[in-house]
Amino acid sequence: MSISIQQILFYMFAGVALLSGILMVAHRNPVYSAIFLIVTLFALAGFYVLLNAPFVAAVHIIVYAGAIMVLFLFVIMLLNLKRDPIRERGKFARRTFATVLVLVFMVEIGALIAASFFTATSDRAIGEMIRGAGSPLVGLHNGAPPDSAAIGSTANIGRQLFTTYLLPFEIASVLLLAAIIGAVVLAKRQLVT
Amino acid sequence: MPLSYYLLTSAILFAIGVAGVLLRRNAIVIFMSIELMLNAVNLSFVAFAAHFKNLEGQIFVFFVMVVAAAEVAVGLALIVAIFRVQQTVFVDEINLMKW
């Protein structure tokens, strides 16, 4: 059976993302955890390119790997954190609880996904339900169905962000302003009174 | 690739993030696990957007990234402020409000 390049890429990115995620959670040194998270973010950007979302992939790398993770590394090095110490109290109880919880969670999600895709409702019926609700975004080019590669282009996303989603866009900028002010106020050195 | 493969990957990444939040004591690693959970949900959104050929998923991912950036800035400022007082980032040692 022929295996397409998309399948190869999917399994590659999935393997890298999952392995790097597990290593991030497991490693004792917080700097290594941050670096493994960066690798996970790059694998996710690869997923976005596979899913016809090149703009989201580029913004993902610039914002997450380029700004947020750099901020994490700044703080880790500013606080001069060493490796987490191995000895801690109540470790076994916490690990058992966490393992049980995560297993239950994964079984639940797996059952949900399996149930939703093996029922009589086909994917096309779900799609028609959604499209019938009057979504303004399908059929971007004069009512003709868009070819799937161009749907995630920067022009389309920009058009929607500045017309249909203008209010959330402006609120997002106000949110960022509030975050900037909050971060500066919180991290300011307190004056001795 | 069928949609359920992407959703399954997203679910497993989310579960790994949950495990990180529950198992680690270092506040910064807990924060990074929260970021991993947010990214798993982003993957779900983009997968649905590609499957139903609808752009709303990708636009919502844009806003999730804005919120994540704002949250990281404020959260790390909080961690730095706490570290300045308590000299520790381990969450089980920051228990001043507990009797």
Determine, for residues B61 and A24 on separate chains, whether the beta-carbon distance falls below 8 Å.
no
Contact indicator for B55, A160 with CB cutoff of 8 Å: yes
- Flag the least confident range among A143-157, A177-191, B38-52: A143-157
pLDDT of res. A120: 41
Cα of B39 to nearest chain A Cα, Å = 8
Contact indicator for A20, B19 with CB cutoff of 8 Å: no
Point out the residue among A41, A106, A180 whose CB comes nearest to the CB of B11.
Answer: A106
Count Cβ neighbours within 10 Å for each residue of B53-84 and write b for 16 or more, e otherwise: bbbbbbbbbbbebbebbbbbbbbbbbbbbbbe
How many CB atoms within 10 Å of residue A140?
19
Does the beta carbon of A181 lie under 8 angstroms from any beta carbon of chain B? no
Cα of A52 to nearest chain B Cα, Å = 7
Q: Which residues of A touch B27 (CB under 8 A)?
A: none
- Flag the least confident range among A33-37, A41-45, A61-65, B2-6: B2-6
Point out the residue among B25, B35, B62 whose CB comes nearest to the CB of A59.
Answer: B62
Contact indicator for B8, A114 with CB cutoff of 8 Å: no
> Which distant-in-sequence residues (6+ apart) come within 8 Å of B43 by Cβ?
A44, A47, A48, B6, B9, B10, B13
How far apart CA A158 and CA B14 sit, in angstroms, is 29
A163-168 contacts, C-beta under 8 A, 24 or more apart: A164/A136, A164/A137, A165/B59, A168/B63
Cα of B20 to nearest chain A Cα, Å = 5
A76-79 contacts, C-beta under 8 A, 24 or more apart: A76/A30, A76/A31, A76/A34, A76/B28, A77/A31, A78/B80, A79/B28, A79/B79, A79/B80, A79/B83, A79/B89
pLDDT of res. A131: 54
Give tens-digit pLDDT for B9-26.
Answer: 998 999 999 999 988 889
Residue A134 burial by CB count (10 A; 0-12/13-18/19+): exposed, middle or buried? exposed
pLDDT of res. A140: 41
Measuring CA to CA, which residue among A48, A147, A150 is closest to residue B45? A48
B3 or B80, greater pLDDT? B80
Does the beta carbon of B91 lie under 8 angstroms from any beta carbon of chain A? no
pLDDT of res. A89: 63
Give tens-digit pLDDT for A109-137.
Answer: 878 777 766 554 555 555 555 555 444 44
Angle at which helix A30-50 crosses helix A69-78, to 10 degrees, equals 180
Give tens-digit pLDDT for A52-85.
Answer: 899 999 999 999 999 999 999 999 998 888 777 7
**A141 strand-pairing partners:** A144
Give tens-digit pLDDT for B29-86.
Answer: 999 999 999 999 999 999 999 888 888 889 999 999 999 999 999 999 999 988 888 8
Kind and range of the H or E run holding A115:
helix A91-118
CB contacts < 8 A (A, B): 221
A142 or A17, greater pLDDT? A17
A83 or A44, greater pLDDT? A44
Contact indicator for B40, B14 with CB cutoff of 8 Å: yes
Kind and range of the H or E run holding A36:
helix A30-50
> Which distant-in-sequence residues (6+ apart) come within 8 Å of A2 by Cβ?
none
Confidence band for A87, pLDDT divided at 50, 70 and 90? low
* Residues 123 through 162 of chain A touching chain B, CB cutoff 8 Å: 123, 126-127, 130-131, 135, 137-138, 140, 145-146, 148, 151-152, 156-157, 160-161
Contact indicator for B37, B24 with CB cutoff of 8 Å: no
Does the beta carbon of B6 lie under 8 angstroms from any beta carbon of chain A? yes
Q: What is the mean pLDDT of residues B1-15?
A: 86
pTM of the model: 0.84
Q: Which residues of B touch A55 (CB under 8 A)?
A: 58
